[in-house]
Structure 1
């Protein structure tokens, strides 16, 4: 069957934009990868991230209204989980390289289903901490065990295929959030539990879909062992990891800093919060693949990181300018700022994906992904504190300092990574 063909014998898999057109294919069919491993992995991603949308949208309410925990205890549990997740992601990547990404990814999904079910039996703080750490470990292990599959089945441009999967992720999470919103409107214990069960079913469904991926040839069951943590000795890769980790902080702008800025520091209508978030989500879902098409080398990634720094800087300056004008002018400025910021987000994502594959060894992709995501996770963890101090406490000057930071880091990306490459021992 086509879904179980050995891709090594069939040649490199075509990327979503590279497959030949099928006569009579409809508009929707042309949006799909060609039948085979790429389509299977996309379907698995769709199922899993739909479940993620269900749970992420409703999890805080489940913890506080069903389990009955105070908000402060929920925050402590999620923070502890985030710390555990940083380590789990690196470990999962190493396991995927050693024992095979397909079986590791399936194992991660099965564990996710089991750990998510455990929430049904949590009623106090310490069990919540334990389960939160376990589910956070699964959350971090998912991408680092999946990236080797993206590399294996992504054809000559795995970063472009990962951009396609990112678009699928945004669409699926959005659909899951819509379904969760209907359940939240019911505001009952049964509704929140049903969303938790839905997340568990999505884990199981993803694992079942992943079984349709072709496994490695018998002689390749165990990948050749790499000496130690080779990713930690790759100087250009580590430099790119640090740069990306700093740039990663901007993801807290639309989800954390901007909503609070709009409500507490501008005269814009409160519905502007929903409007700008919807605009950001729609642009990312619709344009991520296009943004990544021309990023096919680390040099191109450096240029896009420069562009990303400029766009993020401009968007943040416009957000700062929204404090002062009348309500409608402020709302229009915020919409324009979000559009410009999102273009920077798209360019950064495209550059980041290329760095994570282009500077990594194919035989140790899981390990490299774990290290790379450790940098990104550190940036994500620091972002709320940085945004809280610089933006919400300092106001306009904080926005401007943050804007200059992203501009400088984006501009430094290409020359600094290139310099590290020239000085790196071969």
Structure 2
């Protein structure tokens, strides 16, 4: 008797084709979009809220945010370890709900010290978010966290863009109620993300050998990858911090180019991150992409540095062309960074390892404004070339460094 084959699954059409087929991954996608949408609103307008509504000088705002960033370095490591022990779903949802409560406190501040106190706690949320989310992603990634991270990174950038657009309306209104509404929406986005994640199936703590102490801090291979990643993560401060100041103060390009380069960078991530992440499946391919990223960073920075001096349209072309090359390097770097973070970490210690991985990039992002102000903005072309040479050397040296550390660990 012939066996009738089951009918093929109906092809998904429209927007559903853009979503993962896994129910758990779809839930994580919706939660990520919700959280990032709120982040886009708050990040775009927060500095204006603190200065124009609360009435704090920009210097005090910078001090508060720096204090929060420093507190967050420790929080990320500790919360990642809790996610390994107690289960990532439970810990990550708790972080999201706490984020909503903490951000809402920004509506109550009226002095520097109240702002500083809230900033210290708020600064812990994002690192805690990242380190507790890492084992959650690994649990639902169907064995390919690099591909899922690439997809989520596209979703994050799309949500940030939409959030920034909404914030633009509030900035145009420029009133206390408008800015307060953005703060409240940011808090609600955290809570909404946590509530969406409740729909995930139960995810138990990872099983494995229970090791005492901080295993990640003794793993030479992982620490070498963390070090290379930390230095190369300097690239994240270029579009948002360095370029706006460089374009306005050092080139003859029109001011709208500031928005154009940021949109171009975001478009590359949204449209190409998933495609670029394919094929990155072990530390060797990750090291190769790190090398490509270093080359692209150096080339892109050189083109953008040459925009100081030429006519407005030549400068515009150099800036846009440089950003296109630089953004390609950012895509390669993100794919390689994800593979290092997940591929070199034991599954049952993913939270702890992700916390240590984020510690390195967190330190670099905290000092990046000072480094970029001193070199490219302070020295001009020589400073740009120094930063480009640094990223090029670290990118090219990443693969042999990680390979050497792996051999050292194996021999030990």
Greater CA deviation, 82-91 or 261-270?
Answer: 261-270
One of 364, 372, 375 as aligned partner of 2:349: 364
Say whether the 8 Å CA contact 1:226–1:364 is kept in structure 2. Answer: no
> Is 1:237 the equivalent of 2:237?
no
Equivalent residue for 1:57? 44
Q: Give 1:266 shift.
A: 1.3
CA contact (8 A) 1:305 1:411 kept: yes
Q: Distance in 1 between matches of 2:213 and 2:282?
A: 27
8 Å CA contact 1:117–1:200 kept in 2: the answer is: yes
Q: 2:37 and 2:194 mapped to 1: Cα distance?
A: 14
2:32 is the counterpart of 1:83? no
Looking at structure 1, the residues matched to 361 and 350 of structure 2 have their Cα atoms a distance apart, in angstroms, of 16
Equivalent residues of 2:89, 2:197 under 8 A apart: yes
- Alpha-carbon contact 1:309-1:407 (below 8 Å) kept: yes
TM-score in terms of structure 1 length? 0.92
Corresponding residue SS for 1:305: helix
Q: What corresponds to 1:281 in structure 2?
A: 266
Aligned to 1:323, which of 297, 308, 311?
A: 308
Aligned mates of 1:265, 1:186 — CA distance in 2:
30
d(CA) in 2 for partners of 1:327, 1:57: 27
Q: Please list the CA deviations of residues 242-281 of structure 1 after superposition, one character each: whole Å capped at 9, or x if unmatched.
A: 0000000111111111111111111111111111111111
Q: Give the CA deviation at 1:226.
A: 2.4
Q: Mind listing any 5+ residue stretches in structure 2 that lack a counterpart?
A: 1-7
Match of 2:3? none
Take 2:245 and 2:272, find their aligned partners in 1: how far apart are those partners? Answer: 27
- 1:97 and 1:364 in contact (8 A); partners too: yes
What is aligned with 2:27? Answer: 40
Given candidates 5, 16, 34, the residue that maps to 1:29 is: 16
Question: Which residue number in structure 2 is paired with residue 203 of structure 1?
Answer: 190
Deviation string, structure 1 residues 281-328 (Cα, Å, up to 9, x no partner): 111111111110111111000000000000111001111111121111
Which digits, 9 at most, give the CA deviation of each residue in 1:47-77, with x for residues without a partner? 1111111111111111112212111111110
Q: In the alignment, what sits opposite 1:343?
A: 328
Asked if residue 183 in structure 1 is aligned to residue 170 in structure 2, the reply is yes
Deviation for aligned residue 1:110: 0.9
User: Deviation string for 1:139-166 (max 9, x for gaps)?
Assistant: 1100100000111111121111011111
Whole-angstrom CA distance in 1 between matches of 2:350 and 2:11: 38
What does residue 18 of structure 1 align with? none
Q: What is residue 386 of structure 2 aligned with on the other side?
A: 401
Does 2:142 align with 1:155? Answer: yes
Q: How big is each residue's C-alpha offset from its partner over 1:9-45, in whole Å with a ceiling of 9 and x where there is no partner? A: xxxxxxxxxxxx9524114211100141111111110
Match of 1:17 in 2: none
The Cα of 1:221 is off from its aligned counterpart by 8.6
Residue deviations 1:376-425 (CA, integer Å, cap 9, x gap) = 10111121111111101110011111111111111001011001100114
In structure 1, C-alpha distance between the alignment counterparts of 2:57 and 2:349, rounded to whole Å = 42
Give distance in 1, aligned partners of 2:110 and 2:209: 45
Contact (CA 8 Å) 1:98, 1:225: kept in 2 or not?
A: no
Q: Which moved more, 1:365-374 or 1:317-326?
A: 317-326
Shift of 1:225: 3.1
Deviation at 1:216, TM superposition (A): 3.2
Residue of structure 1 in register with 2:202 after alignment: 215
Contact 1:168 1:285 (C-alpha < 8 Å) held by counterparts:
yes
Within a 5 Å distance, the mapping from 1:295-306 to structure 2 comes to: 295-306=280-291
Is 2:206–2:347's contact at 8 Å kept on the other side of the alignment?
Answer: no
Cα distance in 2 for partners of 1:412, 1:342 equals 20
Name 1:11's counterpart in structure 2: none
Which residue number in structure 2 is paired with residue 107 of structure 1? 94
Give the whole-Å Cα distance in 2 for the aligned partners of 1:274 and 1:174: 12
Give the match's secondary structure for 2:231.
Answer: helix
What's 2:237 paired with?
252
- Residue 367 of structure 2: aligned partner: 382
Partner Cα separation in structure 1 for residue 56 and residue 249 of structure 2: 27
**How far apart, CA to CA, are the structure 1 residues paired with 2:224 and 2:275?**
26
For normalisation by structure 2, the TM-score amounts to: 0.96
Secondary structure of the 2:56 match is coil
Q: Distance in 1 between matches of 2:231 and 2:90?
A: 33
- CA–CA distance in 2 between the matches of 1:393 and 1:113? 39
Shift of 1:222: 8.1
Rounded to whole Å, the distance in 1 between the matches of 2:281 and 2:353 is 18
